[in-house]
Amino acid sequence: MSELQEIWQRAYQIVPEQLRLMSSVQRTVTAFNTNIDAVVKISGERLAQLAHDVGLTATDLQNTETKLNTPKDVVRGIIKCFTSGIAEEWLCEDKSVYEWMRDNLGYDRLQMGGQAGIVANVLAVAGVQKVLTHTNSHPRLQAEQFVDADNLFAVEADGTARKACQINQTNDEPLIHQIIEFDAGDAFVYGEKTHICPKSNRFIATYDTANIELKINDGFIKYLNQDGFDYMILSGFHALTAERGGCQKIDEVLPLIYHWKQQNPHGVIHLELASTQDKIVRAAIINKLAPAVHSVGLNEREALDALEVAEPEMFAALEGATLPVPVLFDILLKLKEKLKTPRLQLHFFGMYLTVQNKNFTITPEANKRGMMLAATVAASKAGTGNIENRENLLWAHGMKIGAVAEDNMHRLSQYLAVPELERNGITSYDDMDLIAVPTILVDKPKTLVGMGDTISSVSLVGAR
């Protein structure tokens, strides 16, 4: 083990204690999108078969449309993500295309989906005293995706909160998203060419009649107004489109956010960006929602997407380029300047980076501890495939940080000319604090969906 790995392994020793501290958090709210994920692992060979079955041509592959209008679009989306090792989510508004997916892709398992649902489960298992989550469809199948925990609540249509796993609104339709995962190193052969998948990742094909419009459960809003929170994790705006009134929806949510801030002056509101295809909606999220909240979480792909609307010139200059740590750092700084959010956290393979205003309510040291807890929980999720049992949360505890992570720390330190940064993870930059943490990497992740949501929420709520 290298010296740097040893240093960080020692730093990571605080993680079990940090997890215990999460039980001192009283109330956390997660909203808005909760759904059911139908997860299937696809091989390169199966993908080639699907491409053949739908008659996908080389011309089809040139198509840049990111809406699922036909089965060909579904296959094209999977191919795009598989061959580049990236994560994207495309929307489907045609029931027959959804039925094609259901019949032709199938699934290996059903699990909790949507940022609000995923984060609610993680925080409840981690021991937050009360987690309240938003659902806009809560049939039994949805209820079954919630962990059976006495600290996890959702609100029924009439405004009463009940254990989320016990609600059964029989008239609601289950909202099922197709998650297609693939493995790094797998080969997809198309015509003469063999494409090797560079990174394990997933493609999400979403057919969802409620979250697509960000349908809000009025009972939840009423309940929340009486109850309050210490932390609120918001997401679910990424499925909106300008065509379907997405920008108006954002305008409707803004006054709610201001109201919640006023009612909960000590509460921290975090917005998790997600893969937002509609650029007009993406711009509204960036220009209106991001400045209204205290904290924003994003991955490198979402950072680029955000840059595209916030600073198109810088985006154009970076198109097609690789994104080593110094470049990601520059993007993060630019976004910090443009979004005007007090705290931004970027997570990518091997590293989490947080930049925040000097006077932010969470200290850099607490952030660092929360980020190490998050990295452990995320690696545990990847390694076990399931962190719905508390025993699994610390599965990765004691493992060393990955070589890529070590290299990331080294490069950032060099770039900023702050030698101690790679060892202690904290420095000042202009009038901000910067916190960088190298992560534990799991070789063959059992699952990846929901990783970013887990990282952002545990980093924040676990920052104590």
**Contact status: 305 vs ligand GLC (CB under 6 A):** no
Min CB(252)–ligand GLC separation in Å: 20
Q: Are 38 and 240 in contact (CB under 8 A)?
A: no
Among 450, 458, 460, 461, binds ligand GLC (CB under 6 A): 450
Contact region for ligand GLC (CB under 6 A) — 58-66, 109-117, 148-156, 370-378? 109-117
Query: 296 forms bridges with which residues in the sheet?
Result: 271, 344
SS3 171: coil
Tokens of 390: 């508390």
CB count, 10 Å around CB of 399? 17
User: Does 113 participate in binding ligand GLC (rule CB under 6 A)?
Assistant: yes
Left (φ > 0), alpha (ψ -120 to 50) or beta: where does 82 sit? alpha
Minimum distance, C-beta of residue 202 to ligand GLC, in the bound complex (Å): 9
Q: Is 377 near ligand GLC (CB under 6 A)?
A: no
- Cα-only R_g, the chain: 21
Q: Which is nearer to ligand GLC, 155 or 233 (CB)?
A: 233
Select 114 or 219, whichever has its Cβ closest to ligand GLC: 114
CB closer to ligand GLC, 77 vs 425: 77
Q: Which range, of 140-148, 361-369, 415-423, 448-456, touches ligand GLC by CB under 6 A?
A: 448-456
Q: Which is nearer to ligand GLC, 115 or 277 (CB)?
A: 115
CB 195 within 8 A of CB 162: no
Is 274 a binder of ligand GLC (CB under 6 A)? yes
CB of 326 to ligand GLC, least distance (A): 27
- Angle between helical axes of 325-339 and 300-310 (0-180°, round to 10): 50
Neighbours of 138 (CB within 10 A): 23
Q: Is the peptide bond before 203 cis (omega within 30 degrees of 0)?
A: no
d(CA 405, CA 285): 30
Judged by phi (left if over 0) then psi (alpha if -120 to 50, else beta), residue 198 lies in: alpha
Nearer to ligand GLC, 89 or 308 (CB): 89
> Cα dist. 354→15, 195, 204 in Å?
18, 34, 27
The contact pattern for ligand GLC, residues 14-53, with x = CB under 6 A and - = no contact, is -------------------x-x-x----------------
Least distance (Å) between residue 236 CB and ligand GLC: 7
Q: Quick one: which segment of 108-116, 158-166, 338-346, 404-412 binds ligand GLC (CB under 6 A)? A: 108-116
Report the residue number, 119 or 401, with the smaller CB distance to ligand GLC: 119
For 43, phi then psi, to 5°, come to -95, 160
Please work out the total of residues on this chain that contact ligand GLC, with binding judged by CB under 6 A: 15
| DSSP-based three-state secondary structure for 95 | helix
Give contact residues for ligand GLC (rule: CB under 6 A): 33, 35, 37, 89, 113-115, 118, 177, 204, 206, 274, 449-450, 453
